[in-house]
């Protein structure tokens, strides 16, 4: 026959269980502090390289960021490949213009819209030179068309 549980024993067990429950919850809470609750967003800055690595007359398509980067004699500039109509990715045609495959908007080689439902031209993206001399494009910063990092 099991021993009868006294009121004192019951209170002691209850206090003991409450204490260790509180300790366990505190430890779990402290361990959760080690893991960041907010995950960092992907950077919008894209390394383009040193200006010497971007010879005048060349262009590059950054597929991950959907950005065309052009190196001209006087500077480097970037144009977004995201159509301002509904966000499709435009194609660059051999003659240098851009065309949207979704609804047929067409853009000049510098991104100005000249046909289709797109309400505006392709956004130009900021290109800046960091203190270490490397050029970066920031896809979160639009600049007026024609803005470029100047070689001079």
Mark 70-109 with x for binding to ligand FES (rule: CB under 6 A) and - for no binding. Answer: -------------x-xx-x-----------x-xx-x----
- The CB-of-77 to ligand FES minimum distance in angstroms stands at 21
Helix (H, G, I), strand (E, B) or coil at 24: helix
Identify whether the C-beta of residue 46 lies closer than 8 Å to the C-beta of residue 67. yes
- The CB-of-109 to ligand FES minimum distance in angstroms stands at 17
Q: Which residue shows structure tokens 């995950």?
A: 39
C-beta of 54 vs 118, nearer to ligand FES:
118
> CA-to-CA distance for 9 and 148, rounded, in angstroms?
80
Q: Which of residues 28-67 bind ligand FES (CB under 6 A)?
A: none
Q: Which of 44, 45, 62, 116 binds ligand FES (CB under 6 A)?
A: 116
Spell out the residues 6+ positions from residue 136 whose beta carbon is closer than 8 angstroms to its own.
45, 46, 47, 48, 127, 128, 129, 130
**Which contiguous run of DSSP H or E holds residue 98?**
strand 98-99
Residue 82 DSSP code: B
- The CB-of-115 to ligand FES minimum distance in angstroms stands at 10
Residues that bind ligand FES (CB under 6 A): 83, 85-86, 88, 100, 102-103, 105, 116-118
């Amino acid at each position: 026959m099991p021993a009868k549980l006294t009121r004192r024993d019951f209170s002691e067990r209850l206090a003991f269980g409450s204490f260790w429950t509180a300790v366990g919850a505190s430890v779990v809470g402290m361990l959760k502090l080690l893991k960041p609750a907010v995950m960092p967003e992907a950077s919008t800055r894209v390394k383009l390289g040193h200006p010497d690595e971007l010879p005048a007359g060349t262009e590059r398509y950054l597929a991950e960021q959907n950005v065309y980067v052009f190196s001209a004699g006087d500077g480097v500039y970037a144009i977004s490949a995201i159509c301002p109509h509904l966000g499709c990715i435009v194609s660059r045609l051999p003659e240098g213009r851009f065309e949207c495959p979704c609804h047929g908007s067409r853009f000049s080689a510098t991104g100005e819209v000249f046909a289709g439902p797109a309400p505006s031209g392709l956004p130009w993206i900021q290109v800046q030179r960091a203190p270490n001399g490397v050029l970066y494009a920031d896809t979160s910063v639009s600049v007026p068309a024609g803005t470029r990092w100047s070689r001079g």
